[in-house]
A and B are shown apart, each in its own frame.
Chain A
Amino acid sequence: MDLDLSAPHSTGTTIIGVTYNGGVVLGADSRTSTGMYVANRASDKITELTDNVYVCRSGSAADTQVISDYVRYFLHQHTIQLGQPATVKVAANLVRLLSYQNKNMLQAGVIVGGWDKYEGGQIYSVPLGGTILRQPFSIGGSGSSYLYGFFDQAWKEDMTHEEAEQLVVKAASLAMARDGASGGVVRTVTINAEGVTRKFYGGDTLPLWHDELEPTNSLLDLLSSSVPEPMST
């Protein structure tokens, strides 16, 4: 079990994007790994592109950060030119153009989500090759493998905001329990007509699943109650 500290930072990750009646909820775990080492246990994988469009990043951390920076820059100019906020579709398209045209060099799977006045809440999936696909909900990252069946059963159209938020948090925590490359805390971002709301769910607020142990105090505490005998010779 060798710690390869020069391995590229990867957002091993679980990312989720879900539409609900009135907007979208984006969710992600917070683990950034360098090989086996957790480089950042509290990272923020949900990045702002514009006031009304955010992106969940998975794959190479560097690649997704650079793509986000470029798209933020292009969208800023586009907004000035247009005189009104950019649509989610445009943001997603710019992401996929970069992803597709540089597919040989990039490892980036992202979920673009946001709200605009024409189409309301929308989720666009842009996986590794640069496909763009609009979906009512989307999952990505290494942890998503464990969520396909879960969403098949738990997803429904036209949820309320509370239902959608709880679904995202539950799903993320399930994936984090099984996927070694996902973990830490759950962050969510809600985007709707009123604006953007960020929420944080620490480890102690997340439910425990099968075979996960309750947190307990260290057993060494039992020893410290009696004065330790000095060692003889």
Chain B
Amino acid sequence: MSSIGTGYDLSVTTFSPDGRVFQIEYAAKAVDNSGTVIGIKCKDGIVLGVEKLISSKMMLAGSNRRIHSVHRHSGLAVAGLAADGRQIVARAKSEATNYEKTYGEPIPVKELADRVASYVHLCTLYWWLRPFGCGVILGGYDRDGPQLYMVEPSGISYRYFGAAMGKGRQAAKTEIEKLKLSEMTCREGVIEVAKIIYGVHDEAKDKAFELELSWVCDESNRQHQKVPDDLLNEAITAAKAALEEMDAD
């Protein structure tokens, strides 16, 4: 579905004759070329996972985080240009703080998603701004239960049971659809997400990667946090074992 929009793609304030804004579509390509990012909604919370492609062996493990806490109860996983993602996270944090200062209660996840989406969309309306070259998956747990939202560079935002962005998104979505999410706890979900990310990682094209996992669930006291190390290791072991099984076939 990609086509060159010669002449109509120079500015984000130009429509093509068939009603497309090419600059936004190009921004989406930046997201498509990044490492896979997954989010799933289990019965007791949300799990976010990122395939963080390592560009250099000199990088310290755990640096260049792609999953950020926006508020006590929610986290944002970023796909695409990391610097753009940082900007979105900063804005989301600020929205969450301001909301709580004015209204006296934590920002509902739906409201937070609306505000992030509005902000991303804002940057597609002016010629002197470029669209964000990143998409985010927002997972949070508020009084209405766990919720998962995905915001694309166009500013579109939907609520999901399972969402994926980046290189391996098609394969990841297929795998997610096979899962029985409504019956799964987050503890089980963490293992599944690890398996999926290891599964969609392309050994030939990309080199090493680091798996980043976070959750917000009943077990974490409804706080968004990195998955505890012991569970993380358990997940990685299970994921590697699952890969071997596949290869063994």
Q: Which of A83, A89, A97, A118 contacts B102 (CB 8 A)?
A: A97
Q: Which of B105, B110, B114, B143 contacts A90 (CB 8 A)?
A: B105
Q: Which residue of B lies closest to A86 (CB)?
A: B103
A23 to chain B, nearest CB (A): 19
Q: Are the C-beta atoms of B111 and A93 separated by less than 8 Å?
A: no
Also in contact, A118 and B103, with CB within 8 A (given A81-B111, A82-B108): no
Residue A173 interfacial (CB < 8 Å): no
A-B CB pair tally, cutoff 8 Å: 24
Q: Are the C-beta atoms of B103 and A93 separated by less than 8 Å?
A: yes
Q: Which residue of B lies closest to A117 (CB)?
A: B143
Q: Are the C-beta atoms of B111 and A90 separated by less than 8 Å?
A: no
Residue A87 interfacial (CB < 8 Å): yes
Q: In the complex, what residues of A have CB within 8 A of residue B103's CB?
A: 78, 90, 93-94
Q: Which of A82, A97, A132 contacts B111 (CB 8 A)?
A: A82
Q: In the complex, what residues of B have CB within 8 A of residue A118's CB?
A: 143
A97 and B104 alpha carbons, distance in the complex (Å): 10
Q: In the complex, what residues of A have CB within 8 A of residue B102's CB?
A: 93-94, 97
Question: Interface residues of A toward B: which range?
Answer: 10 to 19
Q: Could you tell me which residues of chain A, from 60 to 112, have a CB within 8 Å of some CB in chain B?
A: 78, 81-83, 87, 89-90, 92-94, 97
The number of residues on chain B lying at the interface, defined by a beta carbon within 8 Å of a beta carbon of chain A, is: 9
| A contacts with B: majority SS | helix
Interface flags, B234-246, vs A, CB<8A=1, else 0: 0000000000000
Q: Which residue of A lies closest to B143 (CB)?
A: A118
B48 to chain A, nearest CB (A): 25
Q: In the complex, what residues of A have CB within 8 A of residue B111's CB?
A: 81-82
Q: Are the C-beta atoms of A90 and B104 separated by less than 8 Å?
A: yes
Q: Which residue of B lies closest to A83 (CB)?
A: B110
Q: Which of A82, A83, A93 contacts B104 (CB 8 A)?
A: A93
Q: In the complex, what residues of A have CB within 8 A of residue B114's CB?
A: 81
A183 and B168 alpha carbons, distance in the complex (Å): 74
Q: Are the C-beta atoms of B143 and A92 separated by less than 8 Å?
A: no
A132 and B104 alpha carbons, distance in the complex (Å): 10
Q: Which residue of A lies closest to B114 (CB)?
A: A81
A48 and B124 alpha carbons, distance in the complex (Å): 41
Q: In the complex, what residues of B have CB within 8 A of residue A90's CB?
A: 103-105
Q: In the complex, what residues of B have CB within 8 A of residue A132's CB?
A: 104
Q: In the complex, what residues of B have CB within 8 A of residue A82's CB?
A: 108, 110-111
Interface flags, B93-104, vs A, CB<8A=1, else 0: 000000000111
Q: In the complex, what residues of B have CB within 8 A of residue A78's CB?
A: 103
Q: Which of B105, B108, B110 contacts A89 (CB 8 A)?
A: B105
Q: Are the C-beta atoms of B143 and A89 separated by less than 8 Å?
A: no
Q: In the complex, what residues of B have CB within 8 A of residue A81's CB?
A: 111, 114
B7 to chain A, nearest CB (A): 40
Q: In the complex, what residues of B have CB within 8 A of residue A97's CB?
A: 102
B122 to chain A, nearest CB (A): 17
A203 to chain B, nearest CB (A): 39
B209 to chain A, nearest CB (A): 39
**Which residues from chain B sit less than 8 Å from chain A, CB to CB?**
102-105, 108, 110-111, 114, 143
**Which residues from chain A sit less than 8 Å from chain B, CB to CB?**
78, 81-83, 87, 89-90, 92-94, 97, 118, 132
Can you list 24 A-B contacts (CB < 8 A)? Answer: A78-B103, A81-B111, A81-B114, A82-B108, A82-B110, A82-B111, A83-B110, A87-B105, A89-B104, A89-B105, A90-B103, A90-B104, A90-B105, A92-B104, A93-B102, A93-B103, A93-B104, A93-B105, A94-B102, A94-B103, A94-B104, A97-B102, A118-B143, A132-B104
